[in-house]
Amino acid sequence: MANVSIRDVRKSFGTVSIIKGVDVDIQDGEFVILVGPSGCGKSTLLRMIAGLEDISGGDIRIGSRVVNDVPPKDRDIAMVFQSYALYPHMTVAENMEFSLKLKGVPAAEQKKRVAEAASSLGLTPLLDRYPRQLSGGQRQRVAMGRAIVRDPQVFLFDEPLSNLDAKLRVQMRAEIKELHQRLKTTTIYVTHDQIEAMTMADKIVVMHDGIVEQIGAPLELYDRPANRFVAGFIGSPAMNFIEGRFGPEGIVLPSGAVLPLDIKPQLNLGAEITYGIRPEHLQIAPAGTPGSIPATVSVIEPTGSDTTLIVKAEGGNLTVVLRERCALKPGEAVALKPVAHQAHLFDEQGKRIATA
């Protein structure tokens, strides 16, 4: 096991800059998730850690060693790919043995390690099958088994769950997390799914356009997003944003409605500001309540455990999540009252405004 340190790492293809200086520190045994929309450079960064892509600038260290020019096989890492990349002409056992065979591990030791990994993943009855005879979830497990038998310093996962159906994804998510808690191997995991990131990570790295937007524990990112991008990306349904100006009693919306604040931001009166509020922090109030946003119910989506409302308000649609069942009808007029101490404020550049 080892810590991984990424220092001012850059990558460009020709003149196009994909990763523009990334710094991340990953502690020994940590489960770190790189998350971001497609094209943000997260998979490229993972492939650079793996050694499958050259590094255009900066340093990557695994343990105390700079690995910039070390070939993948000497980095002591194991990787699980999105397509699993199992060798189709080898059985499950042969797939798992392949790396040990290349390393010259004695045959008896190979068998032992494969058997151990297989039994821990429930693959023992499948060892003689070929990948084409397995289901998606089983293939996923073989790919993980192939990584485990090597007992590497770092596990790399590249969107390993995106080819599975929704139910299996939830199940494998728990299995991967459980595996990490058992093995305590440093893990770097790439996904575009913020729910995977929230549920599995010790630490999330939110990437966007080749830079790191914020690094932090899942709830830290949820409660105190550093900027508008992170605020909108983390959380599902996404945070509502309302444009307004800073006034003496709170945020003044274009229509004249005022949203009260229970904090005193260091702002000039009249400064343009984005008011962010999560769907679960909007409450339904009788129409005309002071300090609320007038709106019309547009869509009601009951999920059983809670109800999602999409309402039309000035400046666009807002999302509201209610824990209780709701008797509203589409077209009904309502007022939305934000929970004042849960509001997030962002300045014109989208940066979080200090609210102390």
Q: How far apart are the first and last CA of the chain?
A: 40
Query: With b meaning 16 or more CB within 10 Å and e meaning fewer, what string describes 187-209?
Result: bbbbbbbbebbbebbebbbbbbe
Q: What is the DSSP letter of 76?
A: -
Identify which range of 69-77, 255-263, 327-335, 339-347 contacts other proteins by CB under 8 A.
Answer: 69-77
Q: Which is nearer to other proteins, 77 or 204 (CB)?
A: 77
Q: Which is nearer to other proteins, 189 or 229 (CB)?
A: 189
Residue 68 in the binding site for other proteins (CB under 8 A): no
Beta strands in the chain (DSSP E): 4-13, 16-26, 31-35, 57-62, 65-66, 77-80, 154-158, 186-191, 203-208, 211-216, 240-247, 250-252, 258-260, 272-277, 282-285, 293-302, 307-313, 316-322, 333-338, 344-346
Q: Which is nearer to other proteins, 75 or 352 (CB)?
A: 75
Look-up of token digits 């998510």 = 173
- Give the interface size with other proteins as a residue count (CB under 8 A): 24
Task: Candidates 5, 17, 56, 82: give the one binding other proteins (CB under 8 A).
Answer: 82
3-class DSSP assignment, residue 335? strand
Give the contact letters, 282-321, x = binds to other proteins (CB under 8 A), - = no.
----------------------------------------
Residue 70 in the binding site for other proteins (CB under 8 A): no
How far, CA to CA in Å, does 50 sit from each of 27, 72, 145, 200, 223? 17, 6, 18, 21, 32
Give the contact letters, 119-158, x = binds to other proteins (CB under 8 A), - = no.
---------------------------x---x--------
Residue 81 in the binding site for other proteins (CB under 8 A): yes
Task: Candidates 89, 112, 341, 351: give the one binding other proteins (CB under 8 A).
Answer: 89
Residue 163 in the binding site for other proteins (CB under 8 A): no
| Binding footprint of other proteins on the chain (CB under 8 A) | 47, 50-52, 71-73, 77-79, 81-83, 85-89, 98-99, 102-103, 146, 150
